[in-house]
Amino acid sequence: MSEGTRPATPARRLVGEGHPVPVSTYRVQLGEDLTLDDVAQRVPYLAALGVTHVYLSPILRAAPGSTHGYDVVDHDEVSPVLGGLPALRRLADTAHDAGLGLVLDIVPNHMAVPTPVWHNRALWSVLVDGPESPFAAWFDVDWASGDGAVLMPVLGDRIGAVLARDELSLDEVEVPGTEGTTTVLRYFDHVFPVRAGTEQLPLAELLERQHYRLAYWRVADEELNYRRFFDVGTLAAIRVEDPEVFDATHRLILDLLADGTLDGLRIDHPDGLADPAGYLARLRERTDGAWVVVEKILQGEEELPNDWDTAGTTGYEALWRIQQTFVDPGGAAVLGATMHRLTNDTSDSLPAIVDEAKREVVDGALYAEVFRLTELAAAICREDLRLRDHTWRALQDCLVELLVAFDRYRAYVIPGEAVHPDSLEAMEAAAATARARLAPERAATMDVLVDLLLGREAGSAGRTRSPRRDELVVRFQQTCGAVMAKGVEDTAFYRWTHLTGLTEVGGEPDRFALTPTELATWAARAQTHTPLGMTTLSTHDTKRSEDTRNRLGVLSELPVEWSALVDRLRAASAPYRGALLDGRTENLLWQTLAGTWTPDGPLTAERLTEYLTKAIREAKSRTTWTEPDAAYEAAVLDMARRVLADDTCVDLLAHWEQRTRGAVRAATLGTKLVQLTLPGIPDVYQGTEVPSVALVDPDNRRPVDTAALEARLARLDEGAGPRDLADEKLLVTSRALRVRRDLPEVFTGPEAGYRALAHSSGHLVSFTRSVAGAPRVVTLATRLGVGLERLGGWADHTVALPDGTWHDVLTGHEVAGGVQEVAPLLDRFPVALLVRSEG
C-alpha cells in the first residue's frame, strides 16, 4: 500500500482542533534539586537543542521526602518543594516566550499513604470517619472485610508485641487544616486519628474502636483490604471511575490545560484503573481533545484498544524494537551457551522462569489481591444454586493458574459490552494453558470462571450481570497488570541473563533481535495508527539507559570474544569469588561492567554496589527487600568491589571497551537517530543527548550538568568539529530535533508519511519521511558495525535515495538522489540525516 492510499488515522488517535501537538519532548525529573524555576533557567538550552516541549514529571504536592512525585497527597496544589503554582506560571511564561510548550505527567491511579497520614487530608478523613467520610468513595476499600476497618500495616512487629513494649501512645499534635491540638495515636513517626469518644478507653479497646486496624507490616500481603499500586502498600488506589472523584482529582490539571499553561498529558499506569477506556473518554471530553499519551505496555504484537481515546503510548514498544534492530541475531547461541555455563539456564528457559516468578508473586506479595478475587468468585457461586458446588479452593486454584498464564497487562473486558475478539483470544489462550496445569476435575470450574471473567452467562439462565460479577471482571484485569509488573519486570527480568540489555520495561527478550524489515513493518503501521504517540529509548523507569543497552548489544556482535573474556575474568577473580555467589548474579555483574565501562573507566564502586543490591533483591532468588540475606549480599558486593580493584580485571575490561568503541559508536548514534526520526513523538530523557551510562532508578535520576551540555552545544554550533562520542551524539540529537522543529509537517502533520528505502546491505537502516507522498527527509543508520568491519566496510553496497538533491545536516555535504553508494554517504559518521534541498 502506498503512502498516498494508506488508511486514515483513527480520530481517537488525533488531537482536537486548535490543540498543540508536540514535535518532540525533553523529560525532566523534578525534585528538591531540580525545581520548576531551575527548569526555567534551562529553557534557553532546551530551545537551542531543538525540542518543542518540556516534559515534566508529576508536580502536585507529594508525600514528604518524595524523590519522584508519583506519591501524590493533594491534587489541588502544585508542590511547594518545586516552587508551587507561581513557579509553574513562571516556567510556562519562560517556555512560551522561547517557543516551547509544557507536557505534564499525571497520576490518576493512586495517592500516597504518607507518614504521618495527615499529609493526605482525604485519607486522614477516611481514617477519622470511616465509610461516613466525604472521601470514603475516593478509595477502593473493601469495607465488608477487616471488620469494617482499613488495614494500616505499619507496625514493625505483631500488635501484641507492640502493645507489650508500650510502643503505642496517645499524643496531642497540631494537624494541618484543623484548629488547636488533636488527640492522635502515635507509633514512632506514624500518627493516626483517634475516633471521637474513644480517647479515654484502655489502649487495647481504643484500638478496636477505630476505623482503621494497625497491623504488622507483613499482614499486608495476606489481608490488605484496599487496592494499592502493585504491591506497594504506601500507594492507595483511588476510584477515578466515580465522576465526582475524577472532578476533584483533576480540577487543577484541567484548569492548567484550559488556560494554556499545559499543552498535553502523560497518564501514569492506566491499566490500574477500573475503566481505562471510560477514563480516557472523559479526559478527552473535559480537555476538548488535548494531546494525551498513556504509560501502557503492549506485549508482543498487541495493539492499543480501539476504544481508548489517546494519541498512543509513551513508547516502550518502540524502544525494544529499535534496540533489537541493532542486536545481532547471530550472537544468541553463543551468549546462550555462556549463560548456561554460568547459570545452568538454557536459551529456552525464559518462559519457565517467568511462570515461576509470577507464581511466586501471586502466592506472596499479591496474595491479598488473589484472595479478594477468590472471595468475589466464591460469593457469586454461592448465590446461584447451579454454581454452588464450585468450591472456594477450586476457584482459587483456577484463578492462580489463569493469572500465571495470562500474557499481558489487561484483557480490556468491559462489563455489559461485547468482548473484543482479541480479548477473547487472549483469555481463551490463557485458560487453555491453565487447564493443562490443573487436575482434570478443575476443568468445569475453569469454564465457569472464564465465562464470569468474560461477562458471559454462567449458572442459571440469563445471569450475566450483577455488582459482584462486574467487580470480578474489573478486579481480575487490575490484578493481571500487577502480576505482570511484579512477576515479569521486577523479578524474572532480574533472573534472566542471556543478554541483560533486553530485559527492559516492556521488553521482549525472547525475540532477541529484529531485522530492519521487521522494524519498518512496525513503523509503517505506527504511522497510520498512532502517528502522534511517543517513542523513547530511556525513561525514569528504564532498567538501563539507552547507552548502557547499546554497549550491551555489542556483546551479540562479538559473542565468541565475550565468552573468552568471561573465562579470563573468572580465572582472574577465582581467588576471591566466594562460593555464595550464584551464576546468574555473576553473569549479571560481568555484563553490567561491560555495559557501563566507558573510555573514562568503570562506574564508581558505590554506584555499582547500589545497583547490584537492588538487582539481587528484586530477583528474590537468594535475598529480598523484606528478608535480606546479609552473608549472600556481602559476598556479591565484595566480589564487585574486588573486581574494580583487580588490575587484571580492569585491564581486561578496558581492552574490551577499546575493542568495541567502533561498534558502540555506530549503535549509539544509530539508535538515537532512528528514534528521533521514526513515526511518533520522540522523547529525550534528561542528559541522554550525550552518552549517559546509567542503571535502574535512582541511578538514572542523578542530576544533569546542563551548563556543560550548553557549552558543548554552543561550541558545535559555532562550527567546531566533534571531538568525541559525546559531541557526536549531541550533534546528531540537536540536528535531528531541529529538523523536526523546522519541518513539523514532515513528522506530525496530517499528511506526514513514512517509507523504508531499498538498499543492498543488511547493515543499513534507511527510510524517508514525507509530506503527501513527497520525500523530504532521509535517515541512514549503520547497524551491527562489527560485522560490517569484518566484511571490509560498505564496499559497493548501495541505497536508493529519492530523486532530488539532498543536504546532510550532520556534515554539510550535498547528495544527489537515485541509487548511491553507501560508503561516501557514511564516510564521516555511521549515520546521515538528509534533508531535501529547496527546488
Q: Where in the chain is the domain with CATH 3.30.1590.10?
A: 117-234
CB 455 within 8 A of CB 418: no
- What three-state secondary structure class fits 562? helix
Buried b (16+ CB within 10 A) or exposed e, 47-61: bbbbbbbbbbbbbbb
Residue 690 φ/ψ, nearest 5 degrees: -125, 165
Q: Which of 218-227, 256-265, 475-484 has the lowest mean pLDDT?
A: 218-227
Looking at residue 1, its pLDDT comes to 40
Looking at residue 6, its pLDDT comes to 60
Strand-pairing partners, residue 764, are 782
* Residue from 727, 719, 722, 661 nearest 690 by CA: 727
Looking at residue 498, its pLDDT comes to 98
233 pLDDT band, cuts 50/70/90, is confident
835: left (phi over 0), alpha (psi -120 to 50) or beta: beta
Looking at residue 222, its pLDDT comes to 86
- Domain 117-234 sits in CATH at 3.30.1590.10
Looking at residue 146, its pLDDT comes to 66
Looking at residue 148, its pLDDT comes to 82
Looking at residue 2, its pLDDT comes to 44
Q: 467 CB contacts (<8 Å, ≥6 apart)?
A: none
- What three-state secondary structure class fits 8? coil
Strand-pairing partners, residue 768, are 755, 778
The full length of the chain comes to 839
Position of cell 468491559?
Answer: 414
CA distance 728 to 716: 9
Q: Determine how β-strand 764-771 pairs with β-strand 774-782.
A: antiparallel
Question: Quick one: three-class SS letters along 460-493?
Answer: CCCCCCCHHHHHHHHHHHHHHHHHHHHHHHHHHH
Taking all residues of the chain, what is their mean pLDDT, rounded to a whole number? 96
- What three-state secondary structure class fits 388? coil
Q: What is the pLDDT of residues 31-61, one digit of tens each?
A: 999 999 999 999 999 999 999 999 999 999 9
381 pLDDT band, cuts 50/70/90, is very high
- What three-state secondary structure class fits 568? helix
C-alpha cell at position 360: 511466586
715 pLDDT band, cuts 50/70/90, is very high
Q: Is the dihedral of CA 244, 246, 249, 255 positive or negative?
A: negative
Q: Where in the chain is the domain with CATH 3.20.20.80?
A: 3-109+240-314
Mean pLDDT for the stretch of residues 669-674: 98
Q: Does pLDDT of 550 surpass 90?
A: yes
Looking at residue 147, its pLDDT comes to 76
Q: What is the pLDDT of residues 720-740, one digit of tens each?
A: 999 999 999 999 999 999 999
Q: Does pLDDT of 489 surpass 90?
A: yes
Cα angle: 28, vertex 30, 34; to 5 degrees: 100
Please state, as a whole number, how many other Cβ atoms lie within 10 Å of the Cβ of residue 246: 20
Q: What is the pLDDT of residues 142-199, one digit of tens each?
A: 888 767 899 999 999 999 999 999 999 999 998 988 888 999 999 999 999 999 999 9
Q: Which helix (DSSP H) or strand (DSSP E) does residue 716 occupy?
A: helix 706-717
Residue 337's Cβ-count burial label (10 Å; 0-12, 13-18, 19+) is: middle
Position of cell 559473542?
Answer: 559
Looking at residue 4, its pLDDT comes to 46
Looking at residue 220, its pLDDT comes to 87
Q: Is the dihedral of CA 494, 498, 501, 503 positive or negative?
A: negative
Q: What is the pLDDT of residues 294-332, one digit of tens each?
A: 999 999 999 999 999 999 999 999 999 999 999 999 999
Q: What is the pLDDT of residues 426-465, one digit of tens each?
A: 999 999 999 999 999 999 999 999 999 999 999 988 888 9
C-alpha cell at position 39: 527548569
CA distance 355 to 364: 14
Looking at residue 224, its pLDDT comes to 83
How many helices (H) and strands (E) the chain has is answered by 30, 24
CATH topology of domain 3-109+240-314: TIM Barrel (3.20.20)
C-alpha cell at position 769: 519521511
Q: What is the pLDDT of residues 551-599, one digit of tens each?
A: 999 999 999 999 999 999 999 999 999 999 999 999 999 999 999 999 9
What radius of gyration, in Å, describes the C-alpha atoms of the chain? 28
% the chain with pLDDT above 70: 99
CA distance 316 to 538: 9
